[in-house]
Structure 1
Amino acid sequence: MEVWTLSTSTGSGYHHGDLRAALLDSALELLDTEGPGELSLRAVARHAGVSPNAPYRHYRDKEALLAALATRGFTELGEHLAAVAPGEAPDAEVIAMACAAVDYALDHPGVYRLMFGQACSSHPDTIAASDATIAVVAERIAAIAEPERREPLRIGIWALVHGLSTLLLDERLGTPTRAETGALVETVVRTMLGAGPERPDGKSAAG
């Protein structure tokens, strides 16, 4: 039976259950508040309330911990995208997925930046989780676009959503409310899809 030594440095000590998940939860909190530069296995152990050596049971070093965080991030993002209900109109479904992706980035700024950072880009688990998330997007696009448009459309939407998320996180677009952000994402995606905005004569820009 595994026994973990609890630290007395924090009041929120780990008591039982899944240590790996508890360490990731603690690392995620530290990542969002302190940034990756301040993240260490000892800091995560202290935050989780376990002995300094406990994290090494699951993560050999900081890079392994960061990769696990990025992997979980892509997995969660994929789940958010997969949960978007099919829309009556194809454009509506793509817009809903774009909004879900931007919302995830704004809710989890630390892990989102990590997911697309160079440090985790070559880890096999992170690559697999990223590919699975991209597959969710590709599957939805395949249902609404002709074969020759699917790959360019997937790349365009992915780049657009990531660009908007980064600009919003960096406050390059001001500090809009979530409602304003949703409206912005919808307008930009519609414009990229050629479904809007409407021209002064009332016709779609695609018409």
Structure 2
Amino acid sequence: MSDPIAPLPRPRPYHVGHVRETLLDRAGETLRDEGLAQLNLRSLSRKTGVALGSVYHHFESKGDLLAALAVRGFQQLKAELSEVLSQDGGAKLRACIGRYFVFARREPGLYALMFDAQVSRFEAVQAERAAVFQLFEDVITLTPVPPERLQIERLGRRTSGRIVLV
């Protein structure tokens, strides 16, 4: 005979359909507030209330988690850069460069992670980084900057591009 008064299930601190996003949100907070050294799958499980097995279902390793954070960082950066694309000419280029540096200063841990050599090996990270720098190249191509003032250095597939105004 079963107990007529069964304990109620514990409420989850996250929505079941949004586990990955919940994990990434908390991982981003940990990266920002405590640093990369404090970020691991076990502590992420504890901080979010998500079972460790579920964490591993979404991220096979810490590297996968870090790559997903970097991808998210590039997507955030691209969204912020896209907000200024309606401006004209040189103002657009200056605004994009300004937004880029504001992002780097506001999120130094995430920015460093986005260009980390180990994390940069993930194809998804490479694709998102390429999309951000393609946006810059498009803005530069459409901006009337005298060629003698603009130099674009390509440092290879696995490293970031660099834009230098001389």
Segments of structure 1 that go 5 or more residues without pairing to the other structure are 1-5, 161-188, 194-207
For residues 145-190 of structure 1, the C-alpha deviation after alignment (integer angstroms, 9 at most, x for no partner) is: 47967982476xx646xxxxxxxxxxxxxxxxxxxxxxxxxxxx8x
- The alpha-carbon deviation at position 28 of structure 1 amounts to 0.3
- The residue that corresponds to 2:105 in the other structure is 106
The answer to whether the Cα contact below 8 Å between 1:7 and 1:49 also exists between their aligned partners in 2 is no
Q: Does 2:40 align with 1:14?
A: no
Distance 1:13 1:139, change over 3 A: same
Which is worse superposed, 145-154 or 102-111?
Answer: 145-154
Matched residue, 2:133: 134
Inter-CA distance 151–69: structure 2 relative to 1 (3 Å threshold)? farther
Cα RMSD for the two superposed structures: 2.9
Q: How far is the alpha carbon of 1:109 from its aligned partner?
A: 2.0
CA distance in 1, matches of 2:92, 2:15: 43
TM alignment of 1:80-99, pairs within 5 A: 80-88=80-88, 90-99=89-98
Q: CA distance change for structure 1 residues 151 and 72 in 2, over 3 Å: closer, same or farther? A: farther
TM-score, normalised on structure 2?
A: 0.79
**Quick check: 2:90–2:144 contact (8 Å CA) kept in 1?**
no
Measure, in 1, the Cα distance between the counterparts of 2:122 and 2:39.
18
- Does the CA-based 8 Å contact 2:90-2:145 persist in structure 1? no
Match of 1:38, as an amino acid?
Answer: Q
Residues 39-188 of structure 1: matches in 2 within 5 Å?
39-88=39-88, 90-145=89-144, 152-153=151-152, 159=162
Count of residue correspondences: 152
Match in the other structure for 1:165: none
Q: CA deviation at 1:16?
A: 3.3
SS at match of 1:152: strand
CA contact (8 A) 1:70 1:120 kept: yes
Cα distance 1:149–1:132, how it changes in 2: closer, same or farther (>3 A)? farther
Cα drift, residue 67 of structure 1: 0.6
Q: Alpha carbons of 1:107 and 1:146: their partners in 2 closer, same or farther (altered >3 Å)?
A: closer
Instruction: Name the CA distance, whole Å, in 1 between partners of 2:10 and 2:110.
Output: 26
Higher strand share: 2
Distance 1:132 1:110 in 2: 21
What letter corresponds to residue 91 of structure 2 in structure 1? A
Please state how far the C-alpha of 1:39 moved relative to its aligned partner.
0.8
